[in-house]
Every structure is written in C-alpha cells, then in structure tokens.
Amino acid sequence: QVQLVQSGAEVKKPGSSVKVSCKASGGTFGSYAISWVRQAPGQGLEWMGRIIPSVGITNYAQKFQGRVTITADKSTSAAYMELNSLTSEDTAVYYCARTYRERSSSGVYSYYYMDVWGKGTTVTVSS
C-alpha cells in the first residue's frame, strides 16, 4: 500500500519561501495526480493545486497563481510544493494527496478522489 511521506516542519520568515516534499513509499505515483491542500490553524481545508507527475501537467488555485509552484520527479516518485512571498497567513499544515485521474479520448483530464494523504507538514511563518 502506497504511503506519502512528507518533509519535516519548517519555520520561515515573512517574505521568504518554503519548499515541501512528498515522496511515495511502498510504490510509485503511477498514473495518479498529486494534489496539495493546506489547513490553517482551526480552519478548513483549502485546495492549492495539483500535478500529474507522469506528464508534468499542473493546475493551480487562482488564489495562489504566481506564488506557488508544484513540481515532481517521476523517477523518484517525489512531488514538491514551493510557496513564495510568505506571510503569517501562510502558517498552516500542508498536505499532499494522491488523486485519481482519467484522461478522455480527446485528451481532457478529469480528477476524482484523493485517496491517500500524507501526514502533513507544518509551516510556521513568523518574524
């Protein structure tokens, strides 16, 4: 059974960047996408974006466009989420999640459930 292992907690200064990793253990990403979801303290889940590691296609939430970059190394089954220009509002737990996807005959990708989640990486932004 594939598990997603995330990198450790980070403490960052305002204005800096953070890069969180997510590596498949016990298997590979296969044809799945990897989504990134964050959760601020005491708040709900927020979708940030996703990548299909096998082809490198990415999509981002409008809120994070231009500030977030999601990459993947399919040879090592690792995905990365880098967030720039950090503020205190970026203090949150960041999760990666395996996302089932399909591709139609016309080349359109559809995305479905997030069935395997990492344990989360706490990012604290403080001066």
Closest by CA to 17, choosing from 63, 65, 80, 86, is 86
Burial of 69 (0-12, 13-18, 19+ CB in 10 A): middle
**Of 87 and 108, which CB lies nearer to other proteins in the complex structure?**
108
Q: Based on CB atoms, which residue is closest to other proteins, 71 or 122?
A: 122
Closest distance to other proteins from the beta carbon of 104 (Å): 9
Nearest of 85, 79, 87 to residue 121 by alpha carbon:
79
**Residues contributing to the site for other proteins (CB under 8 A):** 35, 37, 44-47, 49-50, 59-62, 95, 97, 108-115, 117-120
Distance of alpha carbon 79 from alpha carbon 20, whole angstroms:
8
| Residue 81, amino acid | M
We find the least distance from the C-beta atom of residue 45 to other proteins, in angstroms, to be 5
- Least distance CB 40 / other proteins (angstroms): 12
Q: How far is the CB of 77 from other proteins (least distance, A)?
A: 19
The nearer residue to other proteins, 49 or 53, going by C-beta atoms, is: 49
Distance, in Å, from the CA atom of 127 to the CA atom of 75, rounded to the nearest integer, reads 37
